[in-house]
Structure 1
Amino acid sequence: MKKLFTLTFVLSFILSMAQTDYHFPEESSRHEGTWLQWPHHYQHGMTYRKRVEQTWVDMTKALQSGEKVHIIAYNAEEKNRIIHILEENKVPMKNMDFKMYPTDDVWIRDNGPIFVKDNKGNVLIEDWGFNGWGEKFDFENCDKIPQRIGKDLGIKVIDLNEEMVNEGGSVETDGNGVLMACKSSVISQKKEATRNKGITQEEAEEMFETYYGVSKVIWLDGVTGLDVTDMHIDGFMKFVNHNTMITMNENDLLELGLSDKDIKTLYAASNTDGKEYKKVYLPATQNKVKTAYGKQLDEKGSYVNYYVANTVVLVPNYGDPNDEVANQMIQGQYPERKVIGIDVRNLYENGGMVHCVTQQQPAGNLLN
């Protein structure tokens, strides 16, 4: 019994020490650059690529003046084609680079590297597992992206593939010790949504505490099967800082599929000081989204899925009257950055917006 107690104490001590080793910097902190996986035709066809590609051109044009843009092209032929498209759109090329890796799709927020800092401020990569949102889609190429980037950058990679599947869009952190997530897209054991077979809530929390550097995890139930992601939190909630969150009003959240219970939990959430977050309520689109090529979709659009870069904030826009309302509200939260609306109508048909297809690399020395 004494040996068991000693072993438990040692393991607990090691875990507590590990919790201080890594910190996930808030998105609004200084970036070295932004990573994008460029859409291609190899997986979903030429029509798909042509319909969504302008969104990547617009994001690259907006980002390149304030930070590096790292573009992942499927192969050398695609790299040359992308360069030609960017030049046609008069996008300056001086602040970007290209990597050539085969990918299954564009959702680098979910499959890409999670850049964190150690306790000395050095940047490294966490490579969490990715299984195509519970094996709904092919994922083998995208699952390799963090390791490929780590090798090319010569940066230390912590391989967590055997420990836990975790998609970047399924968690939100306030930069000061709090992480929020939906159980439906992290620990659900329903067959159509399983990321981590047999994982418990406590085990997931320990992983987040250790590798995101948080001390408090707030769970919403979420909804399994509502969409491909099984309700990623970055579609309806985002921390501005450790005092403020951006979300939506109750009716819009209900329309998105949240339960009354989840809305109460979200609205009552507090930071590590026990203070309830100040809330900014963005509207949904006034109308259900219609794609740029004329297809009427069944859902309204969310503006919460925006991306904060060094000098700009990229906000999903839908050709809707509420675009300007949301842009101005978000601008008020980031007065030193310029809000730029990015047309995501065609991308939205495939289940995502701006935050879903971007991944930040924080500024700092790379840990080799």
Structure 2
Amino acid sequence: MTYRLLPEWYPQDGIQLTWPRHDGDWAPLLACIEATLERIVIATARYQRVLICAPDELTKQRLADTFDAYGVPAERLLLIVAPTDDTWARDHGPVSVVDEDGQLVMLDYTFTGWGGKFPAERDNRLTQRLANAGVWACPVSSRDLVLEGGGIETDGEGTLLTTEACLLNPNRNPTLSRAALETQLGEDFGVDRILWLTNGHLEGDDTDSHIDTLARFCDPSTIAYVRCDDPNDPHYPALAAMERELQAFRQRNGEPYRLIALPWPQACFDPEDGHRLPATYANFLIINQAVLVPTYGDPADVTVLNALAVAFPEHTLIPIECISVIRQHGSLHCLTMQLPQGALIRDTPALGKSIRGTLAQHSAGTD
């Protein structure tokens, strides 16, 4: 079967969010992260649907009441109950492709908590559980390959952008050589060009340099990337080297990419132990007719909106404050997974009842 990996700007049914558990890692920041997620839902629901996986029935009902009070149309929300470990839908959510007949297929990769750093068994089972419950309107195909959505970027035309530090890390697929991995990615995504970045990282990042923290396709010929302009910052050498790599990359037609440099926010530190947090403006989310942009209460917040306005002249740019999100070492894009047109079942009212029962059955005795 031949597939084609869809770019983020492909028309979407909605986005997927995984709501935090009250007893999880977000517990000390629960009110803050919930406020950020609420802003994401309200902004997104203007344009498309939002699938929210809630940790329990009480949270699900509370969210339904909250968003009803905010005036979010009920038909724009799909609230379901599902057991999860954490909130990073970008990495435990499905990766969407189309086959040669134009049929949407969701690829369900193995998620190990970024190479076994954190518990991930429930997150790893989530996509298939949602399939068993009838959430998806398209087939799901499981993969043994360890891969996270934040680790890959595509132009939708056969080119993949990624980092060696993540995809070639022995904590992901230690038995696969680079050549074998490229073959697998070519088969799964229909890509015949892989642009490998060998430089670039963010302090405080748990993902081993996910590409969505560093450089992003905005269209087939445009890449937005983070640039550090402070020679005294420890990130400066690696990000300067990454910039040179991006400048050397060529499009399929031999032309250089249009590169849009994103500003470097002031250093953010954890207020409890002082470690540096991975604030990055590259972690934006493209949805239908809009781009949600992470902000950090920094003077560069305005600068990044101006920069991305050049990349997305026909989109509305919506700032989403993400100071609390980086406290858990991710940002806006990491919290979300886009769901392309044809992904979500349409009969939401009837589905709500059936999902509760089906998920309960599939979860019994396993969590």
Q: TM-score, normalised by structure 1?
A: 0.85
Task: State the SS of the aligned residue for 2:7.
Answer: coil
- Residue 29 (str. 1) matches residue 7 (str. 2): no
Task: Name the structure 2 match of 1:185.
Answer: 166
- Preserved CA contact (<8 Å) 1:113 1:145: no
Distance in 2 (alpha carbons) for counterparts of 1:295 and 1:320: 21
Matched with 1:14 is: none
Secondary structure of the corresponding residue to residue 130 of structure 2: helix
Q: 1:315 to 1:195 in 2, by over 3 A?
A: same
Q: How many angstroms apart in 1 are the aligned matches of 2:79 and 2:343? A: 20
- 2:197 alignment counterpart: 220
1 CA distance for matches of 2:277 and 2:26?
A: 24
Secondary structure in structure 2 of the residue aligned to 1:345: coil
Task: State the partner residue of 1:265.
Answer: 245
Give CA deviations for 1:317-348 in whole Å, capped at 9, x if unaligned.
Answer: 11111111111221232222211100100101
User: Counterpart in 2 of 1:9?
Assistant: none
Question: Which residue number corresponds to residue 160 of structure 1?
Answer: 143
CA-to-partner distance for each residue in 1:222-265, whole Å, 9 max, x for gaps?
Answer: 57995310111111100111111101335469626736554432
2:179 paired residue number: 202
The Cα shift of 1:290 comes to 6.2
Unaligned runs of 5+ in 1: 1-17
1:288 aligns with 2:267: yes
- d(CA) in 2 for partners of 1:295, 1:61: 33
Question: CA offsets, 1:130-179, max 9 Å, x none?
Answer: 10001110000000112122222253111112xx1000101111111111
Establish whether residue 339 from structure 1 lines up as the match of residue 317 from structure 2: yes
Residues of 2 paired with 1:135 and 1:257: CA distance?
Answer: 29
Between the aligned residues of both structures, percent identity stands at: 28
After TM superposition, the structure 1 = structure 2 runs for residues 1-368 of structure 1, keeping only pairs within 5 Å, are: 18=1, 21-44=2-25, 46-151=27-132, 152=134, 153=136, 155-161=138-144, 164-189=145-170, 194-222=171-199, 227-249=205-227, 251=229, 255=235, 258=238, 261-285=241-265, 287-289=266-268, 298-299=276-277, 301-364=279-342
Count of equivalent residues: 340
* 2:351 corresponds to: none
1:62/1:213 CA distance change after superposition, 3 Å: same
Amino acid at match of 1:98: L
Closer, same or farther in 2 for the Cα pair 1:156/1:36, shift >3 Å?
Answer: same
Distance in 2 separating the partners of 1:113 and 1:105: 15
1:98-118, Cα deviation, whole Å (9 max, x unpaired):
121111111111111112111
Q: Distance in 2 between matches of 1:92 and 1:154?
A: 21
- SS of structure 2 residue aligned to 1:144: helix
Confirm or deny: 8 A CA contact 1:288 1:297 kept in the other structure: no
Shift of 1:201: 0.6
Alpha-carbon offset, residue 202 of structure 1: 0.8
The amino acid of 2:268's aligned partner reads V
- Alpha-carbon distance in 2 for matches of 1:206, 1:352: 30
Query: Structure 1 residues 132, 218: CA separation in 2 closer, same or farther (over 3 Å shift)?
Result: same
Give, as a single letter, the amino acid of the residue that structure 1 aligns with 2:141. Answer: I
CA contact under 8 A between 1:185 and 1:231: conserved in structure 2? Answer: yes
Paired residue type of 1:315? V
Calculate the aligned-residue CA RMSD, in Å: 2.5
Per-residue Cα deviation, 1:15-71 (whole angstroms, up to 9, x for no partner): xxx4xx211111112101111111221322532322211111000000012111111
Is contact 1:74-1:103 (8 Å) kept? yes
Q: SS where residue 264 of structure 2 aligns?
A: coil
Gaps of at least 5 residues in structure 2 are: 346-367
Q: How does the TM-score come out when normalised to structure 2?
A: 0.85
